[in-house]
A and B are shown apart, each in its own frame.
Chain A
Amino acid sequence: MLVFETPKAFKKDFKYSFCKGCDHGVAIRLIAELIDELGLKEKTILTTSIGCSVTMYDFLDLDCIEAPHGRAMAVATGVKRARPDKFVFTYQGDGDFASIGLAESLHASLRGESLSAVCINNTTYGMTGGQLGPTTLMGQVTTTSPKGRNREYYGYPIRIAEQVALCDGTAFSARVALDTIPNIRKAKAAIKKAFEVQLKGLGVGFVEILSTCPTNWNMSPEKAHERVRNEMMKVFPLGVYKDITEE
Chain B
Amino acid sequence: MAHIVIDENRCKSCYLCIAACPKGLIKKSAHVNKLGEYAVEFCDPKKECIGCAMCATRCPDLAITEVHK
Chain A residues with CB under 8 Å of chain B are 1-6, 10, 15-16, 18-26, 29, 181, 184-185, 214, 221-222, 225
Tell me if B28 counts as interface (CB < 8 A to partner A).
Answer: no
23 residue pairs bridging A and B, Cβ less than 8 Å apart:
A1-B68, A1-B69, A2-B67, A2-B69, A3-B51, A3-B53, A4-B64, A5-B65, A6-B65, A10-B62, A15-B10, A16-B61, A16-B62, A19-B12, A20-B12, A21-B14, A21-B16, A25-B61, A26-B59, A214-B14, A221-B15, A222-B15, A222-B16
Q: How many residues of B contact A (CB 8 A)?
A: 25
Question: Does B13 count as interface, using CB distance less than 8 angstroms?
Answer: yes
Known: A20-B61, A21-B14. 5 other contacts (CB 8 A): A16-B61, A22-B60, A24-B60, A25-B61, A25-B62
Query: How many Å lie between the Cα of A181 and that of B55 in the bound state?
Result: 9
B25-59 interface code vs A (CB 8 A; 1 in, 0 out): 00000000000010000000000000101101111
The one of B12, B16, B62 that contacts A6, using a Cβ cutoff of 8 Å: B62
Q: Which chain B positions have C-beta within 8 A of A181?
A: 20, 54, 57-58
Q: Which residues of B contact A184 (CB under 8 A)?
A: 57-58
> Is B15 a contact partner of A4 (Cβ separation < 8 A)?
no
* Residues of chain B lying within 8 A (CB to CB) of residue A1: 51, 68-69
CB–CB A21/B12 < 8 A: yes
Q: How far is the CA of A20 from the CA of B13 in the complex (A)?
A: 7
**Which B residues are within 8 Å of any A CB, using their own CB?**
10, 12-16, 19-20, 37, 51, 53-54, 56-62, 64-69
B13 to chain A, nearest CB (A): 6
B1 to chain A, nearest CB (A): 10
Complex Cα–Cα for A185 and B57 (A): 9
The smallest beta-carbon distance between B53 and chain A, in angstroms, is: 4
Complex Cα spacing A178 to B57, Å? 10
Instruction: Closest A residue to B12 by CB, please name it.
Output: A20
Contacts of A6 in B (CB 8 A): 62, 65-66
- Most A-side CB within 10 Å, residue of B14, B62, B68: B62
By a CB distance below 8 angstroms, the chain A residues around B66 are 2, 4-6
Asked whether, in the complex, the Cβ of A25 is within 8 Å of the Cβ of B54, the reply is no
C-alpha gap A20/B20 in the complex (Å):
16
The answer to whether A25 and B58 have CB atoms under 8 Å apart is: no
**Complex Cα–Cα for A236 and B31 (A):** 41
Residues of the A chain whose Cβ atoms lie less than 8 Å from the Cβ of B53: 3-4
